[in-house]
């Protein structure tokens, strides 16, 4: 405690000193220019040589001031980016390479230049109920979208440990989003209020929740989000084809939330989760990115590698979109590296079936 207080005190004490030093050099240059103009006999002459010297002195002073201001602004920009990067890494924290026997690779690109993250969200957490995964997409971009990402991810990280049922986790996310939007409406538009006429009343978030059990059994709940792809040796196919529920926000969740049973993720197989910015990316002629073909190409060479799939898809996507997609993009790949999978009754280990509710 003593060291923390002392550090804060020293940091606070250095700030006025830095301000003084920052103002010192421009002040000295300005004083030199004024002194030259008032005290130097050459500066008071009207000849050509005197004018050239005076102009050179003031040009040097002006150039020095501009360079000093530029250097100070760049220093402040670097500091702001460093702080923003630290805050963003806490919000959308880097995932470890392995979680409970699953090999993981993830990446995202923000549509806003200079931003490390946008309106996409994802996380993978091992719990006593299984490995739980969230992938979502907030409507819009900018700081408002990032604040909504923080609200949804914060609720998910608590609910996955507290709730035994996946449907209860989804209801927690719905309540957290509704609370966040009400607070944002009051803060941004206090005269409008949180009613249906509020400017944030039409905000929504697409959310995909997955639960991967110890035996590889995958269950999911989908609110308006693209279903993942199942990747195996030389094949890529949708994990499920059930109709998603509406996104969170505009409509309440139904009374019953039975998870969709998506079959088993066998050892060596992988799930490819993505936001709609991947499939909606267009080239110069308006054609959508062929994600299924890109995934088939990524797994054609041999065993599924999450890192290789990620590199192949992102390289193709950026090439297709001309260097930068128009929408936020997030991709998450999870491969089952567990050595054993529990066989379901009456079903051989190698068999795979999409059991949908």
Q: How do residues 309-348 score in pLDDT, each as one tens digit? A: 999 999 999 899 887 777 788 999 999 999 755 444 444 3
| Separation between Cα atoms, residue 120 and residue 179, nearest integer Å | 19
The two tokens of residue 63 are 């150039």
125 has pLDDT over 50: yes
- In this prediction, residue 206 has a pLDDT band, given cuts at 50, 70 and 90, of very high
Task: Determine which helix (DSSP H) or strand (DSSP E) holds 208, and give its type and residue range.
Answer: strand 205-212
Provide mean pLDDT across the span 95-108.
93
- What does the buried/exposed string (b/e) look like for 312-343 if buried means 16 or more CB atoms within 10 Å of the residue's CB? bbbebbeebbeeebebbbbbbbbbbebeebee
Most confident of 29-33, 118-122, 138-142: 118-122
Which pTM was predicted? 0.71
**Chain CA centroid to CA 166, Å:** 24
Helices 166-188 + 142-162 axis angle, to 10: 150
């Amino acid at each position: 405690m003593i060291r923390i207080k002392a550090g804060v005190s020293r940091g606070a004490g250095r700030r006025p000193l830095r301000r003084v030093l920052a103002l010192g050099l421009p002040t000295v240059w300005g004083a030199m220019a004024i002194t030259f103009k008032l005290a130097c006999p050459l500066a008071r002459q009207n000849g050509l040589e005197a004018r050239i010297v005076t102009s050179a002195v003031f040009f040097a002073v002006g150039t020095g001031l501009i360079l000093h201001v530029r250097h100070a602004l760049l220093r402040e920009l670097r500091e702001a980016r460093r702080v923003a990067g630290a805050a963003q890494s806490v919000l959308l924290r880097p995932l470890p390479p392995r979680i409970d026997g699953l090999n993981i690779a993830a990446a995202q690109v923000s549509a806003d230049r200079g931003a490390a993250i946008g309106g996409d969200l994802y996380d993978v957490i091992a719990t006593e109920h299984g490995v739980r995964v969230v992938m979502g997409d907030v409507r819009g971009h900018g700081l408002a979208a990032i604040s909504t990402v923080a609200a949804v991810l914060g609720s998910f990280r608590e609910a996955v440990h507290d709730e035994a049922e996946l449907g209860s986790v989804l209801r927690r996310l719905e309540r957290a989003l509704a609370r966040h939007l009400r607070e944002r409406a009051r803060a941004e538009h206090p005269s409008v209020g949180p009613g249906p006429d509020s400017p944030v009343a039409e905000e929504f978030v697409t959310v995909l929740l997955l639960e991967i059990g110890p035996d590889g059994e995958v269950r999911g709940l989908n609110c308006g989000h693209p279903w993942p792809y199942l990747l195996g040796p030389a094949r890529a196919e949708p994990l499920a084809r059930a109709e998603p529920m509406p996104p969170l926000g505009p409509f309440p969740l139904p009374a019953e939330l039975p998870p969709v049973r998506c079959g088993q993720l066998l050892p060596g197989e992988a799930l490819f989760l993505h936001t709609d910015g991947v499939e909606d990316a267009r080239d110069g002629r308006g054609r959508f990115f062929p994600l299924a073909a890109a995934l088939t190409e990524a797994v054609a060479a041999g065993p599924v590698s999450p890192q290789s799939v990620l590199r192949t898809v992102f390289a193709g996507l950026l090439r297709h979109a001309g260097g930068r997609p128009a929408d936020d993009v997030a991709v998450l790949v999870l491969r089952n590296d567990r050595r054993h999978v529990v066989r379901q009754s009456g079903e051989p280990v190698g068999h795979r079936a999409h059991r949908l509710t």
